[in-house]
Amino acid sequence: MFSHQPTFAQNSNDSATQTWAEKLGYPSGKRVVILHADDIGMSEGANISAKSYLKNDHIQSVAVMPPCPSFEEFIDWAKENPQEDVGIHLTLTSEWKTYRWGSVADPAEVPGLIDPEGKLWRSVREVVEHASAAEVEKEIRAQIEKSIALGYRPDHIDTHMGTLYGSHEFTAAYTKVAEEYSIPAMVIDMSNPAIVEGFRQQGYPITEEMLAVVNNYKLPKLDYFYSVGKADTYEEKCQKFYDLVKSWQPGLIEIIFHPSEYSEDLKSITGSWQQRVWEAEMFADPDVIQFLKDEDIIFTNWKEIMERFNEGVVRN
């Protein structure tokens, strides 16, 4: 997610310096990776892309946006494909100019999340300025419960646009809900000062209170978190991804991207449509697949992580 590459001390005999990959019983010194598609449910094109990737084992995980119009359709598919790792992309913002959505909870019960147009705020800053932690907790519970009411228990939860890291109080609500439901949240281990500094450089408020919340979180954490970078051509995008992979340190890594099939609707929604279309091609590209094989990466998903965790593999 951030451009510099933090180092992580490796010592399989010392739990304080073990990566989360090692704690979960993966081989020492390996890069254990989740290729994860975000923003599913936002549109039909995103759903098509995610289904294809999962069915062909090109990626390991996706997260679906409960306030969006194609959410229920994808949850129906997830119920028919229970072997796949499908989580909830907890969504507290509605960032696009004309294509917008509101809360899942009754707007009257979460007024601080609602903008003058009756939709979720466009930016993280606006959510932090207007919403309380209690409203955030009510909304994220409503989004999880929406999936459960449709018959699908999410395999994990994460945060759209990083909003749940916009304040330590939001993060506390996020981790509290994850622990109560025993659904793992996308939480990065912040015991490494280089990682903390990386997030601070991006503008995240990584305060002592935030660190305390993360350090007290009881479910599995990621060692590293990255996103697929923007580029001016498809070839450049692939090369940036190759460079990123080669820079990874050993540990449990999630890399996110936002794939979608091309459509005129997608072009009308977002100026990032070209990046999303390329990301709908990348991980089915034979060259990318061969590259990842050559890099000797171990792939996993949140289902397997929680199976290992619940079996007591973790060595603290």
Domain 15-310 is classified in which CATH homologous superfamily? Glycoside hydrolase/deacetylase (3.20.20.370)
Q: Is 1 exposed, middle or buried (0-12, 13-18, 19+ CB in 10 A)?
A: middle
How far apart CA 316 and CA 314 sit, in angstroms, is: 6
If pLDDT is split at 50, 70 and 90, which confidence band does 263 have? confident
Asked whether the predicted pLDDT for residue 14 surpasses 80, the reply is no
Q: Enumerate residues 6+ apart whose C-beta is below 8 A from 159.
A: 89, 90, 92, 165, 174, 186
Place of tokens 């390991």: 60
User: In the prediction, which pLDDT does 16 show?
Assistant: 56
The answer to whether 91 touches 63, Cβ cutoff 8 Å, is no
Q: Where are the domains of the chain?
A: 15-310
| pLDDT interval class at 8 (50, 70, 90) | very low
Q: Which three-class secondary structure state does DSSP give residue 137? A: helix
Least Cα distance to 43 among 232, 230, 234, 268 occurs for 268
Query: What is the share, in percent, of the chain residues with pLDDT greater than 90?
Result: 83
Exposure of 83 by Cβ count < 10 A (0-12 exposed, 13-18 middle, 19+ buried)?
exposed
Rounded CA gap, 103 and 67, in Å? Answer: 6
DSSP 8-state code for residue 3: S
CA nearest to 129, candidates 159, 171, 187, 170:
170
Q: Are strands 61-64 and 86-90 parallel, antiparallel or unpaired?
A: parallel
- What pLDDT, on the 0 to 100 scale, is given for residue 13? 39
Lowest mean pLDDT among 13-22, 282-291, 303-312: 13-22
The confidence band for 151, taking pLDDT boundaries of 50, 70 and 90, is very high
CA distances from 87 to 130, 142, 144, 193, 218 (A): 27, 14, 9, 29, 19
Residue pair 174/90 in contact (Cβ under 8 Å)? The answer is yes
- How confident is the model over 119-144, as pLDDT tens digits? 999 999 999 999 999 999 999 999 99
